[in-house]
Amino acid sequence: MSTKIFKHIQSTVVPVNIENIDTDQIIPARFLKATTRDGFGNNLFRDWRFDEDDNPKRDFILNNPLYSGKILLAAKNFGCGSSREHAAWAIADYGFDAVVSSFFADIFKGNALNNGLLPVQVSDEFLAKLFAAVEADPNTQVEIDLVDQFIKISATGEMEEFEVNPYKKACMTNGYDDIDYILSNTALVEEFEQGR
């Protein structure tokens, strides 16, 4: 079954300069009761975005009209905590195609890759440059190229290469998923079971 194809994007950026953003912040547990994958974007960062009466909190970046775009920029150790894939669904459903940070939690990274949401891990220095550029000018355009594995600040040309698992890269650029791959190896799985 195909997933979303990702090759190259250019977009403005939404900066959330907070470390250790856990998946309970990305999508609190009380919103995990849905039985489909849709609509989680409405509750992305719910308790940072809205007060108890569901009014938008003016000081949170997602409520700042100056900032929008397909790229979410966050400080280190993004996506730690619970394995809930709903976190990746919420970010993608809100409209982001990529998350950029200097460090990702393992399970979140895997979940994102399985949903066509690209986690881009950059150095601390480049992350600081990105925050500085975006905070100075909310219209800053950033390019992310998965095929050639680089991220670039369009105006200045400052760029950095990023790593991505070659298998997951092939999946994302072609829209394959893991189940297709394992199913193509079913004979090996059965052979393994018989050999035990």
Partner 1 sequence: MGQTLFDKIWDAHVVSSKEGFPDILYIDTHFIHEVTSPQAFDGLRKRGLPVFRPKQTVATADHNVPTWDQHLPIKEELSRYQVDMLTKNCAEFGIELYGLGHPFQGIVHVIGPELGVTRPGCTYVCGDSHTSTHGAFGAIAFGIGTSQVEQVLATQCLLQSRPKRMKIEVNGQLQKGVGAKDIILYIISKISAAGGTGYAVEYAGDTIRSLSMEGRMTICNMSIEMGARCGLIAPDETTINYVRGREFAPKGEEWDKAVDYWKTLYSDEDAEFDSVLSFNAEDIEPMITYGTNPGMGIGVTQNVPATADVEKAEQPSYTKALNYMGLHDAQPILGKPVDYVFIGSCTNSRIEDLRQVAEFVKGKHKADNVTVWVVPGSKQVQEQAIREGLDKIFDAAGFPLREPGCSACLGMNEDKIPAGKYCVSTSNRNFEGRQGPNSRTFLASPLTAAASAITGVVTDIREFLKEEELV
Residues that bind partner 1 (CB under 8 A): 1, 17-20, 22, 24-25, 28-30, 32-37, 47, 52, 75-77, 80-86, 88, 103, 105-107, 110-111, 114-115, 124, 165-167, 177-179, 181-183, 185-186, 188-189, 192-193
Measured between alpha carbons, how far is 184 from 190 in angstroms, rounded to an integer?
A: 12
Sign of CA dihedral 2, 161, 141, 130: positive
Residue (41 or 154) nearer to partner 1, CB? 41
Contact yes or no for 13/71 (Cβ under 8 A): yes
Residue (69 or 110) nearer to partner 1, CB? 110
Query: Of 96, 144, 142, which Cα lies nearest the Cα of 120?
Result: 144
Q: How far is the CB of 176 from partner 1 (least distance, A)?
A: 11
Residue (52 or 148) nearer to partner 1, CB? 52
Contact yes or no for 8/149 (Cβ under 8 A): no
Q: How far is the CB of 125 from partner 1 (least distance, A)?
A: 11
Residue (76 or 152) nearer to partner 1, CB? 76
Strand partners, 56: 50
Residue (101 or 140) nearer to partner 1, CB? 101
Question: What stretches of 80-185 show up as alpha helix (H) in DSSP?
Answer: 86-94, 106-113, 124-136, 166-174, 178-183
Q: How far is the CB of 33 from partner 1 (least distance, A)?
A: 4
CB count within 10 Å of CB 182 equals 11
Q: How far is the CB of 143 from partner 1 (least distance, A)?
A: 26
Measured between alpha carbons, how far is 40 from 92 in angstroms, rounded to an integer?
A: 9
Q: How far is the CB of 79 from partner 1 (least distance, A)?
A: 10
Contact yes or no for 182/189 (Cβ under 8 A): yes
Q: How far is the CB of 67 from partner 1 (least distance, A)?
A: 18
Residue (11 or 86) nearer to partner 1, CB? 86
